[in-house]
Structure 1
Amino acid sequence: PIRPRDCVDRAVRLLLEHPDADCVRGVVPAGQNPHKMWRIDEATGRMTPLLSVPGIAEPYNAPRQILPPVYWQTGHIDAIRPATILEKNSMTGEAIYALLIDPRYTVDLDNPRDWAKAEWVVRFGGLEMVHPDAAPRPMPERVALLVLDFDGVLTDNRVWTDQEGRESVASNRSDSHGLELLRRAGIEAVVISKERNPVVAARCKKIGVPHFQGVDDKATLLKKLLAERGVEASQVVYVGNDVNDLPCFPLVGWAVAVADAHPEALRRADYVLSRRGGHGAVRELCDLILAHR
């Protein structure tokens, strides 16, 4: 699933450059050397080496650096001539040429842990790869404005309600300090929230961040806000956690989701933070922006 952008073009080019080739198959250097692998006799428990190497008596005891290089087929790409399939009744034929692929692109999906590894590589691997949607955008060179959702970003998305109907939320003090550091660096922040409870105004007043609450159409307000402030959309970072934040993602230069965001927000964000909303996610983002300056 993680394929270099030039993978298909390189495979076709290689096939065209070698008229004798039946197919081209993608391979990477093998992570495990088969010269150090064994077969076990189930009856006796005795082991015999899987492979031998001419000129090396005991390859399984030899340094791997002196053993023949071996390659593993990854499933990234097979470029096959029609005649190989139609006339030779084969998916490869006999003349198989190698397309060497950077092993960083290699992920086997056999269990949920492999899936988690693949998602990490896609998000944080820094690879130039084929994306089914638009490729994630990098952080803008200059950030002029940070726009934040409230619930699930500055809070942990939970709410406590007492017997009188009063609501309370939990937030993180490190987030407010991160926003203060941004202000000192000349980067403003603003909160846009669908929540109508007065707790939004109270918390935003405490941390000194302008806010708009009770907003059902965040995208329209965001466009109006940028126009009024004269801020370039490409210099705006938006951080959200739910589907009502998604219309704002393409309107800014960098769309960010907290670690525990809705799956669709995670999929469409340019960047996913490692921390959850209300647990230092905003501070993490502030530190990233400041470190990027």
Structure 2
Amino acid sequence: MSENKRIVGIVPARGGSKSIPRKNVKLLGGIPLIAYSIEAGLRSKYLDRVIVSTDDPEIAAVAREWGAEVPFMRPAELAGDLATDLPVFEHALRWLEEEGYRCDAVVQLRPTSPFRPPACVDEAVEVLLSGNADSVRGITPSGQNPYKMWRIEDGMMQPLLDSEFAEPYNMPRQELPDTFWQTGHVEVIRTATILEMGSMTGHRIAPYVLDPAYAIDLDNELQWKFAEYVLDHWKLEIVKPNSSTK
């Protein structure tokens, strides 16, 4: 735990996954998917609590088995397919305040991004603590540059982005600005950003750049198969729970 700050980890895990049924408790490498994110929080030297927000009793039971707290059940209206992060985190933080626990910042650990470098959480927290950002978000270099992306309007292609360059889609990629996409590995948000600004990011968003090798998000069966392959064949250093203790 930080010497002067209270920081809580929250793992959001609803029960209604459609693309991969029961995804959060599905075994990946013999371990429930959600356990990877719980373990990443438990190993952090800055987090003094790791809490799972879920509407699902089975997920709650698995989360407790792997060391997380589940002090409340998420209301059904915050667990639908279109549920967004902000009300989920407002609910969790308000519940904790009513319990008498007020934190300075929260770390979101999404189960769908299980492959985290060992220092990921602590390094991201340190970015927030060392500056004046409202939040920190994990990002990785984008595989495709958005200056070369398109939308279709009235049957014709239009550049996705307005650009200071003439025809950036015809330029060598080396001459275009570096771009990044956000991953789900780690987000560190000041409590005031959520409860006072009503935002999951605020205006000042600091980057935490991850190696693209870790940028595996599990949203469909093909990605799941790839994650299994990575576990079996890549020597990727990740935070992985110890199944032998369960």
Residue 52 (structure 1) aligned with residue 149 (structure 2): no
| 1:53, distance to aligned residue in structure 2 (A) | 2.7
Cα distance per residue 1:80-113 (max 9 Å; x no partner): 1111111111111110000000000011222211
CA contact (8 A) 1:52 1:59 kept: no
Any unmatched runs of 5+ in structure 2?
Answer: 1-113
Cα distance per residue 1:150-188 (max 9 Å; x no partner): xxxxxxxxxxxxxxxxxxxxxxxxxxxxxxxxxxxxxxx
TM-score normalised according to structure 2 size: 0.52
Any unmatched runs of 5+ in structure 1?
Answer: 135-248, 251-267, 269-293
Match of 1:132 in 2: 241
Task: Tell me the amino acid that sits aligned with residue 161 of structure 2.
Answer: L
Residue 78 of structure 1: which of 187, 206, 212 is its match? Answer: 187
Q: 2:213, 2:181 → 1: CA distance?
A: 13
CA contact (8 A) 1:26 1:98 kept: yes
Q: 1:123, 1:15 → 2: CA distance?
A: 34
Percent identity of paired positions between Structure 1 and Structure 2: 54
| Pairs within 5 Å for 1:132-171 | 132-133=241-242
Residue 88 of structure 1: which of 181, 197, 208 is its match? Answer: 197
| Pairs within 5 Å for 1:234-273 | none
Match of 1:120 in 2: 229
TM-score normalised according to structure 1 size: 0.43
Match of 1:150 in 2: none
Match of 2:125 in 1: 12
| 1:31, distance to aligned residue in structure 2 (A) | 0.6
Q: Which has the higher contact order (CA 8 A, sep 6+)?
A: 2
Which one has the largest radius of gyration? 1
Match of 2:39 in 1: none
Task: Tell me the amino acid that sits aligned with residue 95 of structure 1.
Answer: R
Task: Tell me the amino acid that sits aligned with residue 136 of structure 2.
Answer: V
Moved over 4 A (4+): none
Q: 2:211, 2:161 → 1: CA distance?
A: 26
Match of 2:137 in 1: 25
